[in-house]
Amino acid sequence: MEQKADFVPLDESFFQQPTLQLAESLLGCLLVKETKEGTAAGFIVETEAYRGPLDRAAHSFNNRRTKRTEIMFHEAGRIYTYVMHTHCLVNVVTGEEGVPEAVLIRAVEPYEGIDLMFERRGGTSMKNLTSGPGKLTKAMGITMEDYGNRFDQRPLYITKGFTPEDISTGPRIGIDNSGEAKHYPWRFWVTGNQYVSR
């Protein structure tokens, strides 16, 4: 009876929305990671959409299909983790089988397992704990182990959170060498939330 029944993963049909719409729908949802050290959870407050063939900023631009991007060609709801420099980033795969699109989770608001997150992140402030894509994966213990799993089942999954009052959009971050694509307003965040990366 140790098991918490509070967190019920979202149904897979949730992920079967157009990528831009899903990026917006994900705001306010609760991202949960269960490990043997404990459970860490946080509300998603910032996302970015990456749209395969059309999007120069996406790893899957021009349908580039490699070992790394392979998972983006799968059905919606898969987990795409990617190691960048010293950090791991986490994406939600969207689109139907064969359509390489994804949503990057850029920031969450800490909700449960906050002590555990501080332990993993070392000395830092509450505001700095999960306010960035590399920070949140470290705080929650998300790694390449999660690559290819599904967001509708443990140990890494998404469940219902709150409904954001107001949502902002703007250009994405960290894709300066992507030509035109860098101006696309495919970044979404909860307006005014202090855990948004910038």
Interface residue list for DNA (CB under 7 A): 48, 50, 57-59, 64, 66-69, 80, 82-87, 89, 91, 102, 104, 121, 124, 128, 132-135, 144, 173-175, 177, 197
Q: Which is nearer to DNA, 64 or 112 (CB)?
A: 64
CB of 165 to DNA, least distance (A): 25
Q: What's the gap between Cα 4 and its chain centre? A: 23
Nearer to DNA, 13 or 171 (CB): 171
Shortest distance in whole angstroms from residue 192 CB to DNA: 19
Burial class (CB in 10 A: 0-12, 13-18, 19+), 72: buried
| Positive or negative torsion for Cα 89, 165, 51, 170 | negative
Q: Which spans in the chain are helix H?
A: 19-25, 114-121, 133-140
Nearer Cβ to DNA (2/95): 95
Q: How many CA atoms lie within 13 A of 14 on its CB side?
A: 20
80 vs 157 by CB, closer to DNA: 80
Closest CB 154 distance from DNA, rounded Å = 23
Whole-number minimum distance, CB 109 to DNA, in Å?
A: 14
Contact 164, 27 (CB under 8 A): yes
User: What is the closest distance, in whole angstroms, from the C-beta atom of residue 149 to DNA in the complex?
Assistant: 15
Rounded to whole angstroms, the Cα distance separating 152 from 195 reads 24
Cβ distance to DNA smaller for residue 36 or 67: 67
